Structure 1
Amino acid sequence: MDLKQLEHFVAVAEERHFTRASRRLNLVQSGLSASIRALEEDLGGPLFIRSTRRVDLTPAGEVLVEEARRVLAAARDARHAVTQVHGLARGRLRIGAIHGLAPFVDLPASLGQFRAAFGGIDIELTLDGSRALIDEVREGRLDIAFTQPSDPQPDDIGSRMFACEGMVIVCSTDHEFAGASELKLSDLSEETFADLCPEWSVRRLVDRSFAAAGLQRRTGFEVNDIPMLLELAAQGLAITMVPESVAAARVRDTRGAPVATATLCATEEPCWELAAFFKGRAGEPLTPVARAFLDLLKLPDVVA
């Protein structure tokens, strides 16, 4: 049993699904399955109850998951402590990100924590589109980029997945879709959409989903701001599609007009993914500064 196997186990335990866990870990599913089987053989029994739609923890798995989280956290803390002893007294951390990372990552707070721990490191932050950010990582102009995975991912770029969730429909509370479930994309094709601008990865994901289904849709409102996007839906001017946690945060917000949500059937629901990208392989960035920042974020244990 090693740390990598425990990381794989925790990902499957939290996702309750091997495919989603493999995406989160940036690992082929066959490799993830082999890692879990080896761990189960080492521990002398099954850790998961597998079914066609999901996996659940066995009693042994329930016991292991909390211990595994504790061990992984201790390993990160140990590495962070050694990094501080070795000293990152001087240097530069260059971060790139797409707009709208919250609520997945509170980047300003994380950068503040990093500055408190490593006061001698200069910090630079750039906001841009997904393609530009990946290019800047490849060319060495950024240490880390927080964005949606590209397809295919470049061979010389490593990543750590930290969000993988479904997209939901947001509409006004009196819309016919309010509270609906198991909708199909074809049910939405006659609606007017509020969309983000084409360079946003959320927009590209929605566009690709409709194109793959052979459907067209009408964009009536195009904005560059997620709060505005959701407010247009709240006012009944259009419907929109956003990641589930973004919609949930807007539903809880009592300051604006209320919104409702609806869900798509599982076979047509787009999967919104976010990852940290960096120069390196096997989940480890090349530079000590980038490694220290990712350790501070504790990305491998973030529930998607």
Structure 2
Amino acid sequence: MKLDPRTITQFAVIAEERSFTKAAERLRVAQPWLSARLRKLEDQIGFPLFIRSTRNVTLTERGEAFLKAACNVYASVAAAEALAAQLRRRDERRLRLGTPPYSNQIAQRRNLIDRFASVYPAVSVELDVGWTPALIERVRSGDLDIAFVLGGVEDPDLEVNVLCRIGVEMMMSQSDPLATRSTLSPADLKGRSIAVFTRALHPSLFDELFAPLANSGAELIQVPEMSAAILAQVQGPRRLIAFQFSFSVATTDEPIVSRSFEMKQKVPFSLLRRRGISTPLNQSFWDLAL
């Protein structure tokens, strides 16, 4: 019996996501096609891998056992694909970097790129902007050489170098009673409406930052990006408060002020790359960061 490694890796993704729909989105395939692939695998191996219901997908006992081998296959295929992508670009004179929105305001990121450009003037540095989950997947696949990311990253396949830690601020009207304070706690924001980034952009960081606010009784309003309409609500009678990272571009509207937000620990801003796979340019950039 010969099994298709790609089908096995697709099974591993379904098992990780616990959802055919989410797995199909991650794999960028149609959900019916993915379901058909999984049924074909189950027919081939002779036992069911999942117990399916309308709400969730759970592994069978034999599915759990099979997953251990599938994860090894998935890791090997992902490593081979990433290595092939890196080797394909080994002689290229360009470095592809991922970076979060607005992070050009962070001195460590800006200075590192400027320094690399001065040392390697013939190399083209390409910046792709995105949120951490998407950047991690692109580093994994070899589509990006290195990425700057926000939030903690724990992945044995990735090498992480924390460059600094970023604070959080709350923007509000200068006439807001809370503007008299230098630092705000979650309890201070009880009953207030807080504009925050959309959870889908970075679920783990969203939960880390905003669970204390929700637990304290604040209303979280998810917005795709900060806009003039949001700033108008900050200054308006609604007294909306808007979240921003400390590195975000500050508003020039004098009626709006920013106050520090009390956190257990600041958000790490890190450099990451796939472990054990690099090109000379990749290594040079990493060495400069170190």
TM-score (norm 2): 0.55
2:208 aligned with 1:208: yes
Displacement of 1:209 in angstroms is 3.6
Closer, same or farther: CA 149–228 of 1 in aligned 2, 3 Å: same
Displacement of 1:277 in angstroms is 0.7
Displacement of 1:294 in angstroms is 3.9
RMSD: 3.6
**Conserved in 2, the CA contact under 8 Å of 1:156 and 1:279?**
yes
2:96 aligned with 1:99: no
The equivalent residue for 2:275 is 280
Displacement of 1:192 in angstroms is 1.3
**Conserved in 1, the CA contact under 8 Å of 2:171 and 2:243?**
yes
Closer, same or farther: CA 287–229 of 1 in aligned 2, 3 Å: farther
Displacement of 1:238 in angstroms is 1.2
What is the SS of the residue equivalent to 2:171? strand
Residues 174-212 of structure 1: CA distance to partner in whole angstroms, max 9, x if unpaired? Answer: 1011031454313213111222233444x8635434425
Mapped to 2, the partners of 1:95 and 1:149 lie a distance apart of: 17
The equivalent residue for 1:290 is 282
The equivalent residue for 1:82 is none
Larger C-alpha radius of gyration, 1 or 2?
2
Closer, same or farther: CA 106–211 of 1 in aligned 2, 3 Å: closer
Mapped to 1, the partners of 2:121 and 2:201 lie a distance apart of: 33
**Conserved in 2, the CA contact under 8 Å of 1:104 and 1:163?**
no
Displacement of 1:126 in angstroms is 1.6
The equivalent residue for 2:245 is 243
Displacement of 1:264 in angstroms is 4.2
Mapped to 1, the partners of 2:270 and 2:229 lie a distance apart of: 25
Unaligned runs of 5+ in 2: 1-89
Q: How does 1:1-304 map to 2 (within 5 A)?
A: 90-105=92-107, 111=113, 114-115=116-117, 117-151=119-153, 153-181=154-182, 183-201=184-202, 205-211=205-211, 214-220=215-221, 222-225=223-226, 233=234, 237-246=239-248, 250=250, 255-265=252-262, 268-269=263-264, 271-280=266-275, 286-296=278-288, 299-300=289-290
Mapped to 2, the partners of 1:187 and 1:233 lie a distance apart of: 17
Mapped to 2, the partners of 1:273 and 1:263 lie a distance apart of: 17
Closer, same or farther: CA 221–148 of 1 in aligned 2, 3 Å: closer
Displacement of 1:158 in angstroms is 1.0
Identity %: 20
**Conserved in 1, the CA contact under 8 Å of 2:189 and 2:217?**
no
**Conserved in 2, the CA contact under 8 Å of 1:89 and 1:119?**
no
Displacement of 1:99 in angstroms is 0.8
Comparing 213-222 and 98-107, the one that deviates more:
213-222
**Conserved in 2, the CA contact under 8 Å of 1:173 and 1:258?**
yes
**Conserved in 1, the CA contact under 8 Å of 2:152 and 2:267?**
no
- Matched letter for residue 257 of structure 1: E
Mapped to 1, the partners of 2:272 and 2:110 lie a distance apart of: 18
Mapped to 2, the partners of 1:112 and 1:264 lie a distance apart of: 31
Number of equivalent positions:
199
Unaligned runs of 5+ in 1: 1-87
What is the SS of the residue equivalent to 2:177? coil
Higher RCO (CA-CA < 8 Å; seq separation 6+)? 1
**Conserved in 2, the CA contact under 8 Å of 1:171 and 1:238?**
yes
Closer, same or farther: CA 279–221 of 1 in aligned 2, 3 Å: closer
**Conserved in 2, the CA contact under 8 Å of 1:196 and 1:226?**
no
Residues 127-179 of structure 1: CA distance to partner in whole angstroms, max 9, x if unpaired? Answer: 1221111111122211111111345x111211221221332322111101103
Closer, same or farther: CA 206–141 of 1 in aligned 2, 3 Å: closer
